[in-house]
Structure 1
Amino acid sequence: MNDSEKMLDFLAQLQANNTLEWMHSHQPEYRAARAAFVGLVSDLMQKMLPDEPDLGLINPGDLVFRLNRDTRFSKDKSPYAPAFRAHISPQGRGMVPVGDYLFVSPGHIFLGGGVFHAKMPEITRRIRDQIVLEGSRFEAILAAPDFAEKLTLQGEKLKNVPRGYDKEHPCGELLKHKSWYVEYGIEKDLFLDREAFLDEAVDVFRRIKPFNDFINKALEGLEMPGKR
Structure 2
Amino acid sequence: MAVPAPKARKSSTDTPPKKKARRVAPPESSASEDDEHASASGVGSSEDDEVKEVKGKAKKSKAKTVNGKKKTTGRKGAKGDKEDRPKAKGKKRKAKDESDEDEYSGKDATESEEDDYDSDASGGLNRRVVRTVKKVAGPDTKADTHVVLPTTLEFLADLAKHNDREWFQQNDARYRHAFLNFKTLITAWVPVASEADWTLPHLPAKDLMHRIYRDVRFSKDKTPYKRYLCASHSRTGRKGPFALYYLHIQPGGKSFVGCGCWSPQADVLKLIRNAILRDPKPLRKVLAEKEFVRLFGSDKPRLDGKRGGIFNADDQLKNAPKLEGVDKTHKDIDLLKCRSFAVETHFPDDVVLADDFLQTVKHAMETAAPFVQLLNEIISPSPPSDNDDSDDDDEQGSGSAEEDESE
TM-score (norm 2): 0.51
Distance 1:110 1:95 in 2: 21
- Compute the displacement of 1:53 (Å): 5.3
Specify whether residues 46 and 9 from structure 1 end up closer, same or farther in structure 2 by C-alpha distance, changes over 3 A only: same
Confirm whether residue 112 of structure 1 aligns to residue 297 of structure 2: no
Distance 1:66 1:57 in 2: 20
Mapped contact 1:161–1:173 kept (Cα < 8 A): no
Distance 2:153 2:159 in 1: 10
Matched AA of 2:344: E
Mapped contact 1:6–1:36 kept (Cα < 8 A): no
Which of the numbers 106, 121, 124 marks the counterpart of 2:266?
121
- Could you report, residue by residue, the CA deviation over 1:45-99 in whole angstroms, capped at 9, with x for unpaired residues? 2323334457563102220100111111111100011110110224200142121
Distance 2:234 2:269 in 1: 20
Partner of 2:318: 159
Which of the numbers 25, 31, 36 marks the counterpart of 2:176?
31
- Could you report, residue by residue, the CA deviation over 1:144-182 in whole angstroms, capped at 9, with x for unpaired residues? 223122112234111222111422443221001111110
Which of the numbers 194, 201, 213 marks the counterpart of 2:361?
201
Mapped contact 2:155–2:175 kept (Cα < 8 A): yes
Q: Percent identity?
A: 28
Partner of 1:178: 339
Distance 1:189 1:22 in 2: 27
Is the partner of 1:193 in helix, strand or coil?
Answer: coil
Distance 1:55 1:178 in 2: 25
Partner of 2:377: 217
> Counterparts of 1:81-120 in structure 2 under 5 Å?
81-107=226-252, 108-117=254-263, 120=265
Specify whether residues 4 and 98 from structure 1 end up closer, same or farther in structure 2 by C-alpha distance, changes over 3 A only: farther
Specify whether residues 189 and 210 from structure 1 end up closer, same or farther in structure 2 by C-alpha distance, changes over 3 A only: same
Partner of 1:138: 283
Mapped contact 2:196–2:365 kept (Cα < 8 A): no
Q: Unpaired segments of 5 or more residues in structure 1?
A: 222-228
- Could you report, residue by residue, the CA deviation over 1:11-64 in whole angstroms, capped at 9, with x for unpaired residues? 112111111222223222212111111111222223233344575631022201
Matched AA of 1:154: F
Distance 1:18 1:121 in 2: 34
Question: Which one has a bigger Cα radius of gyration?
Answer: 2
Mapped contact 1:109–1:188 kept (Cα < 8 A): yes
Mapped contact 1:57–1:90 kept (Cα < 8 A): no
Matched AA of 1:111: V
RMSD over aligned Cα atoms: 2.0
- Could you report, residue by residue, the CA deviation over 1:186-223 in whole angstroms, capped at 9, with x for unpaired residues? 0111111021x2111100001111111122123228xx
Distance 1:218 1:43 in 2: 30
Aligned residues: 219
Distance 2:199 2:294 in 1: 28
Distance 1:169 1:211 in 2: 23
Is the partner of 1:61 in helix, strand or coil?
Answer: helix
Q: Unpaired segments of 5 or more residues in structure 2?
A: 1-140, 142-146, 297-308, 382-407
Specify whether residues 77 and 153 from structure 1 end up closer, same or farther in structure 2 by C-alpha distance, changes over 3 A only: same
Is the partner of 1:100 in helix, strand or coil?
Answer: strand
Larger mean CA deviation between 25-34 and 68-77 belongs to 25-34
Distance 1:3 1:150 in 2: 22
TM-score (norm 1): 0.87
Mapped contact 1:58–1:90 kept (Cα < 8 A): no
- Compute the displacement of 1:183 (Å): 0.6
Matched AA of 2:278: L
Distance 1:73 1:124 in 2: 23
Matched AA of 1:157: Q
Distance 1:110 1:100 in 2: 11
Is the partner of 2:295 in helix, strand or coil?
Answer: coil
- Compute the displacement of 1:122 (Å): 2.2
Specify whether residues 154 and 86 from structure 1 end up closer, same or farther in structure 2 by C-alpha distance, changes over 3 A only: farther
